C-alpha cells in the first residue's frame, strides 16, 4: 500500500516538476543570451521585418506587445507580436525569438500542414481542456465509468493538440535558424548560442506534451481498473 502511494506521489511530483524545470530553463537561457548582442546589431523588430520581406510576406505586421516572453504570431490578425525587450533588443535571444515567430508566419504563408491541422484542432482542444477534468472527476467520484470515458475522450483532444504543437514549433525553430544564417543576421560563431535559445524554448512544449500524455495514460488506467 505504502509502495503504491509512494509511487503515486513520485508521479505527481514529476508532473509538477517537469514544466517548472522547463520554464526555468527557458527563462535562464533567455536572460543569459539577452545580454549578448549579435554582430548585426539588429533589433528583434528589424530581424522580423527583414525575414518577412526576404520571404515575400508583406501583409504581416510586426508589433510590440506587453508582458515577459509573451511573443507570438497571430494568424487571424496577421501580426508578429514581440514583447518589449525582444522588439527593441539587439541580443541573440531577441533575434532568435523574433525569427521563431516569423517562422510561424512563413508556415502560415506556405499553408504548412501541421499548422493548419493545429488551427483546426483549437475549438476541440479548448472544449476538451474546459470540460475533461470536470467529467473525469464526476466519473471517479460517482463511479460512473461512462462519464469517465467521456472525460478521457475530451482530454484526448487536448492532448492531441499538444502533440501536434511539437512539429509546428520545431519546424518554426528550424526555419528561424536557417533564415538567421542565410540573411547574415547571425554569423557562424553565433549559431551555437542562438540554437540554445531556440532549444530551451522548445523544451517548454516538450514538457507540456509529456505531462499531458502522462495524465491521459493515468486516467485511462483508472478507467481500465474500474471496468475489471
Kindly tell me if the per-residue pLDDT of 1 is higher than 60.
no
Confirm whether 191 is a catalytic residue: no
Q: What is the pLDDT of residue 6?
A: 63
Q: Which distant-in-sequence residues (6+ apart) come within 8 Å of 211 by Cβ?
A: 15, 18, 19
Would you give the DSSP letter of residue 81? E
Residue of 46, 101, 169, 190 marked active site: 101
For range 107-129, the mean pLDDT? 95
DSSP per residue, 122-172: HHHHHHHHHHHHHHHHHHHHTT-HHHHHHHHHHHHHHHHHHHHHHHHHHHH
- Residue 2 pLDDT greater than 50, yes or no: no
Residue 177 has what pLDDT?
97
* Residue spans per domain, the chain: 2-226
pLDDT number for residue 3 = 47
Q: Tell me the C-alpha distance between 60 and 103, whole Å.
A: 12
Amino acid at each position: 500500500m505504502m509502495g503504491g502511494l509512494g509511487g503515486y506521489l513520485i508521479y505527481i511530483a514529476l508532473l509538477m516538476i517537469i514544466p517548472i524545470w522547463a520554464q526555468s530553463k527557458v527563462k535562464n537561457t533567455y536572460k543569459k543570451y539577452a545580454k549578448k548582442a549579435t554582430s548585426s546589431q539588429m533589433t528583434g523588430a528589424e530581424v522580423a521585418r527583414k525575414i518577412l520581406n526576404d520571404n515575400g510576406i508583406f501583409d504581416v505586421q510586426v508589433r510590440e506587445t506587453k508582458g515577459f516572453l509573451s511573443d507570438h504570431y497571430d494568424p487571424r490578425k496577421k501580426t508578429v507580436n514581440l514583447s518589449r525587450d525582444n522588439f527593441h533588443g539587439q541580443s541573440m535571444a531577441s533575434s532568435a525569438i523574433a525569427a521563431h515567430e516569423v517562422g510561424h508566419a512563413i508556415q502560415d504563408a506556405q499553408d504548412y500542414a501541421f499548422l493548419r491541422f493545429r488551427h483546426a484542432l483549437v475549438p476541440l482542444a479548448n472544449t476538451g481542456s474546459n470540460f475533461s477534468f470536470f467529467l473525469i472527476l464526476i466519473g471517479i467520484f460517482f463511479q460512473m465509468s461512462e462519464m469517465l470515458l467521456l472525460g478521457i475522450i475530451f482530454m484526448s483532444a487536448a492532448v492531441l493538440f499538444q502533440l501536434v504543437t511539437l512539429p509546428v514549433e520545431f519546424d518554426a525553430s528550424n526555419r528561424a535558424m536557417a533564415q538567421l544564417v542565410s540573411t547574415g543576421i547571425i554569423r557562424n560563431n553565433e549559431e551555437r548560442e542562438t540554437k540554445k535559445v531556440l532549444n530551451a524554448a522548445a523544451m517548454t512544449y516538450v514538457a507540456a506534451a509529456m505531462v499531458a500524455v502522462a495524465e491521459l495514460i493515468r486516467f485511462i488506467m483508472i478507467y481500465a481498473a474500474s471496468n475489471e
